[in-house]
Copies of this chain bind each other. A is one copy, B any other.
Amino acid sequence: MRPKNLVKEEAIRSIALQIISEEGLENLSMQKLAKAANISPRTIYIKYENKEDLLIKLFIEEVLGNYEKAILENFDPKMAFADGMKRLWLNTFHYLKNNKPAFSLIRYGKSSPLLNKAFQEKNIQQGAFFAPIHTFLKTNVQTGLIADLPHDVLSALLFSPIQDLVAEYLDHLNRPLQIITEEVILTSCEIVIKGILK
């Protein structure tokens, strides 16, 4: 029997992300995607049940899966707090700034009810994304190093700014000066650390 063409499978995913990034999720259609990937619309339906299935798998498996892997690289929950934070911030910065299409879908994950629901269900049913970060924060709360707040609150305080900083970096590439450098990221990270320490 004829095997699946993995090149085409990868093309579907990467071109879908590209369209979402350039034209928006609301302008992605199956026919447009097929044409851009130089395949028949039917081929998409061999690999995905329907449009919603494609979007959810793209978001959960491809985008969030790779994002998690990239962020946790060389990170260990047992690291010293400041070191761990800087590792996570730098990993986030480098991964997102080099993967704009993936970042686009990540941001839609917070706006789109479909993707948001998929994320929450996955997070409940099969173990949370970013579990090592969970452990990391919990440990540092228990040792009394950082403020004792619920995980979701800590997460917002410690990681929201880095996502917005990368967004600024990517949205303003047309600016004359690139103000968001690795040095600025590290300075910002230190400011966040200073705030959360008891």
Interface 0/1 of A102-136, CB less than 8 Å to B: 00100110111110100010000000000000000
- Indicate if the CB atoms of A113 and B23 lie closer than 8 Å: yes
A172 to chain B, nearest CB (A): 8
- Indicate if the CB atoms of A191 and B160 lie closer than 8 Å: no
| B residues in contact with A147, CB < 8 Å | 187, 191
The contact of A153 among B107, B111, B120, B165, by CB within 8 Å, is B165
The contact of A113 among B24, B149, B168, by CB within 8 Å, is B24
Instruction: Give the docked Cα–Cα distance between A184 and B179 (Å).
Output: 32
- Indicate if the CB atoms of A179 and B157 lie closer than 8 Å: no
- Interface residue SS majority, chain A: helix
Beyond A21-B113, A104-B111, 9 additional contacts (C-beta under 8 Å) are A25-B111, A120-B171, A152-B179, A153-B165, A153-B168, A156-B188, A193-B195, A194-B194, A194-B195
Q: Can you name 16 A-B residue pairings with CB atoms under 8 Å?
A: A23-B113, A24-B112, A107-B110, A110-B167, A111-B112, A147-B191, A149-B188, A150-B179, A150-B184, A153-B180, A153-B188, A156-B161, A160-B161, A191-B195, A191-B196, A194-B194
Interface residues of A (CB under 8 A from B): 21-26, 104, 107-108, 110-114, 116, 120, 147, 149-150, 152-153, 155-157, 160-161, 163-165, 167-168, 171, 179-180, 184, 187-188, 191-196
